[in-house]
């Protein structure tokens, strides 16, 4: 059966105007001002007059098997459910481990990726965890990236954080180089997802790697770049050279510490950071811990959800005057391009039919993933 979306206002994420979109199988077959239902083929018609048709969102930093654990066994977070994705307008996730690379395994992340794919959504993953050397599936990050389809890079590796393994610049440089070469061989992004902590001058390790090796800034995606005022100030300059990832789910839990994601997007753009360098991710199913600065003890813990991305895109548009076609890029075309997720992130002919239909108040009316209606 074909699906024909009629009279939709399309953001691809770039504005295309009012058009029809024809979907067959898992693919966008045609986009045109007017498309007639093909004769002799069963076609489902959806009237999208007054609605926006945009790419399904990509959440490229999710603890799909659950995260947490900093406060002991009771602080372990649950794994991602498909319903969390559909309720958020998310059709693609990238999974990772976090603090706990000991009792949670990279193998379990791989099987969760396979489970998400078997349920009709799209998923990839990072090998590794906070620790250096990182845990792997095959015993080597290069083999993981090169040989395992679902693995696109390494992460999240913790730096500038009291929970990191305090890796040296030499160790980080070697890890980065191996990821890069494996990406080249395997046709992957081969990127390093970096967990950024609360230490002062948090980007220093990345600057040192670039200064003392042949690696470039775009070999990294530093995440949590809005976690406090001073990392965000540094991110305004770092983002002109490399990528910056804004965590959406920790707001409003830490409103007194963090830069609100929608505001962060506006400020980064005003600072001259190219829109293609900015991504939003939820950090969903990972813990959002708070530590006493004097004792280092855990004093609070929360868990984020994928729906925080759409919320912050909405508020960037409605409250912070960021144009919709700009705001959408942080969770559609940007992660697709940066992570080399083929067929994702755009409303284009011959791309995967990951389609999110919104009303002008950002309520989800329909969601299609790989050509199938899931909401």
The catalytic residue positions are 283
Is the Cβ–Cβ distance between 58 and 336 less than 8 Å?
yes
Task: Please return the burial class of 365, using the count of CB atoms within 10 Å of its CB with bins 0-12, 13-18 and 19+.
Answer: middle
* CA 13 centroid distance within chain: 16
Residue 115 parent element (H or E):
helix 106-118
Is the Cβ–Cβ distance between 64 and 126 less than 8 Å?
no
Rg of the chain over Cα atoms, rounded to whole angstroms, equals: 20
Residue 310 parent element (H or E):
helix 307-318
Token pair belonging to 135: 């845990």
Alpha helices (H) along 161-306: 169-186, 204-211, 229-238, 261-270
Query: Would you give the end-to-end CA distance of the chain in angstroms?
Result: 17
* CA 129 centroid distance within chain: 16
* DSSP of 22-38: EEETTEEEEEES--PPP
Is the Cβ–Cβ distance between 284 and 305 less than 8 Å?
yes
């Amino acid at each position: 059966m074909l699906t024909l979306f009629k009279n939709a206002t399309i953001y691809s994420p770039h504005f295309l105007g009012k058009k029809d979109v024809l979907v067959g199988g898992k693919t966008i077959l045609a986009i045109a001002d007017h498309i007639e239902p093909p004769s002799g083929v069963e076609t489902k018609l959806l009237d999208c007059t007054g609605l926006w048709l945009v790419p399904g969102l990509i959440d490229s930093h999710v603890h799909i098997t659950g995260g947490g654990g900093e406060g002991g066994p009771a602080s372990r977070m649950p794994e991602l459910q498909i319903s969390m994705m559909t309720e958020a307008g998310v059709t693609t996730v990238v999974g990772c481990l976090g603090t706990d690379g000991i009792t949670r395994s990279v193998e379990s992340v791989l099987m969760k990726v396979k489970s998400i794919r078997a349920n009709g959504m799209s998923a990839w993953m990072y090998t590794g965890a906070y620790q250096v050397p990182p845990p792997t599936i095959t015993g080597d990050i290069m083999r993981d990236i090169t040989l395992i389809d679902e693995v696109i890079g390494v992460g999240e590796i913790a730096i500038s954080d009291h929970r990191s393994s305090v890796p040296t610049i030499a160790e980080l440089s070697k890890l980065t180089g191996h990821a890069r070469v494996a990406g080249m061989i395997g046709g992957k992004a081969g990127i390093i997802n970096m967990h950024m902590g609360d230490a002062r001058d948090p980007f220093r390790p990345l600057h040192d790697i670039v200064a003392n090796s042949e690696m470039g800034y775009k070999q990294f995606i530093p995440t949590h770049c809005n976690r406090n005022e001073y990392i965000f100030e540094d991110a305004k300059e770092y983002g002109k050279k490399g990528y910056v990832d804004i965590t959406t789910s920790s707001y409003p839990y830490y409103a007194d510490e963090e830069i609100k994601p929608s505001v962060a997007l506006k400020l980064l753009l005003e600072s001259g950071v190219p829109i293609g360098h900015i991504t939003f991710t939820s950090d969903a199913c990972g813990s959002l811990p708070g530590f006493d600065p004097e004792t280092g003890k855990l004093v609070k813990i929360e868990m984020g959800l994928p729906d925080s991305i759409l919320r912050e895109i909405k508020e960037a548009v409605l409250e912070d005057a960021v144009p919709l076609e700009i705001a959408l890029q942080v969770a559609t075309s940007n992660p697709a391009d940066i992570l080399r997720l083929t067929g994702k992130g755009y409303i284009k002919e011959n791309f995967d039919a990951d389609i999110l239909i919104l009303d002008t108040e950002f309520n989800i009316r329909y969601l299609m993933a790989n050509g199938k209606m899931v909401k």
